[in-house]
Amino acid sequence: MNAASATRADDRGRPESGAGDVLGHPKGLWFIVFTETWERFSFYGMQALLVLYMATYLLHPGKVETVAGFAPFRAAIEGVVGPLSVQALATQIFGLYIGLIYFMPVFGGLLGDQWLGRTRAVLIGAASMALGHFLMAFEAAFLFALLALIVGSGFLKGNLAAQVGDLYAKADQRRDAAFSIYNVAINIGATVAPLICGTLGEVYGWHYGFGIAGFGMLVGIVIYLAGGKHLPPDPVVGARKERHHLQPGDGRIIGGILVMFLIAALFWATQAQVWNSYPLWIKGHVDREILGLTVPVTWFQSLDSLAVLVLMPAVLWIWRVQARRGTEPDDFGKIILGCGVYAAAFLWLTAGEFVAGGDKVLLLWPVTFHFILGFGFVYVAPIMMSLVSRTAPLAVNAMMVGAYYLSIFVGGFLSGWLGRFYEVLTPLQFWLLHAGVAASGSLLVVMLRRPLGRAMRLQGGGA
């Protein structure tokens, strides 16, 4: 076996290309992509409705008493953060939910790495999420539904994303493109979901929206099972004695990745606000009338994802042109730019409030806001996931991909905490605050890129 072949064998036997590829990528990628599309349809369909459902319906007197176990649950939250209004409680619960959704993949990834295998972990997670979505149709089961979704996401998210990386050799140049395609799948699901689930829930009844989200998860399970023979092999199932172990220097790599997670949390805190307090702002401060029709609030969440889909091909083209010229930014450079663009997006909302001068903001401002966000998102989210997948030690690769969601976990909690200021600050001040949060992420990467590059063994030390 020559050196190149040995390298590929050490890399789980993934060749750089193959005769069975579809559009230049392994067949397994496309089954994973379509599974993720339907999983995100179900997830974002429910998420688009969640804050509105709680703030305008479920948490009000006469309804909240029907939720099993809610009184001690509320007491526990207010015991930590103090008394909360209905609206503040809704944003705090959302922050807690979204934080735990992205915390549990750490454990799910570990189980997938070392015991269950990734395929089995994905199926367990998908089944739990389907159960959670259907339980959302019953008000009394609200907390149990959220718990099932949190547990299911823990098993599914890190392991499914890790399987994308498992399809490619470490040095395979297609890896970044694969994770970008994976993020396109996320955004297709997230674009369609608010239009269907959101409209059904907001216009015809909350439980219709939650029910169709559950159906979407079942479709995802069928697609994943159909593609079983094309998925990457699980590295530990039936071969426990061959588990990979941490090597000298791996601790520094893990430390560098964890620092990046903390910085990424600032980005995710601002992104999570688009699904948290932002719908309440749209409902109360934006003129949504067009030709006598009122645009549903949930459609703006759809626009957020549509912007990513529209801009992703253009950004990938820009990167290809830059790569040919030798001017493509490294991963750190892309993340710096992406966080800076996010800061600009929230400054745009601030400007919109200033121009409105107390009147309702015109649709131009939030619509443009989503396209600015979309451009920044492409430069951060898929790049962070690719960076983790490429640099994380093999022994804990799925766990570290799952641990990437720790940054969204922290960001979710932070968005819930920031959401309580929505009733205290003016909208102009509230969005200016978020511009500062996003800008601080960009600044921290600028300051730390060299030591982080050395710790993570990146070519050129992150320069």
**Domains, the chain, with CATH or none:** 24-231+247-462 (1.20.1250.20)
Q: State the pLDDT at residue 459.
A: 56
User: Would you say residue 15 has pLDDT above 60?
Assistant: no
Do 185 and 160 touch, CB atoms closer than 8 A? no
Do 230 and 31 touch, CB atoms closer than 8 A? yes
Mean pLDDT over residues 336-349, rounded? 96
pLDDT (tens digit per residue) in 376-421: 999 998 888 888 878 888 777 767 876 777 788 889 889 988 988 9
Q: State the pLDDT at residue 20.
A: 64
pLDDT (tens digit per residue) in 121-172: 999 999 999 999 999 989 999 999 999 999 999 899 879 988 988 888 877 7
Do 360 and 286 touch, CB atoms closer than 8 A? yes
Encoded amino acid at 147, one letter: L
Q: Smallest Cα–Cα separation from 423: which of 326, 286, 317, 284?
A: 284
User: Would you say residue 19 has pLDDT above 70?
Assistant: no
pTM here is 0.78
Per-residue pLDDT band for 461 (boundaries 50, 70, 90) equals: low
Per-residue pLDDT band for 452 (boundaries 50, 70, 90) equals: confident
Q: Which residue has the tokens 């939030």?
A: 366
Q: State the pLDDT at residue 243.
A: 60
Residue 3 class from Cβ within 10 Å (0-12 exposed, 13-18 middle, 19+ buried)? Answer: exposed
Mean pLDDT over residues 276-299, rounded? 91
Encoded amino acid at 31, one letter: F
The tokens for 278 are: 């932002």
Contacting residues for 254 by C-beta, under 8 A, at least 6 apart: 392, 393, 396, 400
Q: State the pLDDT at residue 105.
A: 81
d(CA 407, CA 296): 30
Run of H or E residues at 54: none
Q: Which residues pair with 289 in a beta bridge?
A: 294
Q: State the pLDDT at residue 217.
A: 95
Do 52 and 298 touch, CB atoms closer than 8 A? yes
pLDDT (tens digit per residue) in 87-123: 999 999 999 998 898 788 878 888 887 788 899 999 9
Q: Smallest Cα–Cα separation from 278: which of 57, 169, 401, 430?
A: 430
d(CA 2, CA 18): 19
Q: Which residue has the tokens 């997006």?
A: 345
pLDDT (tens digit per residue) in 166-197: 888 877 778 878 887 887 888 789 889 999 99
Do 14 and 172 touch, CB atoms closer than 8 A? yes
d(CA 183, CA 190): 10
**Angle of CA points 395, 396, 397, to nearest 5°:** 100
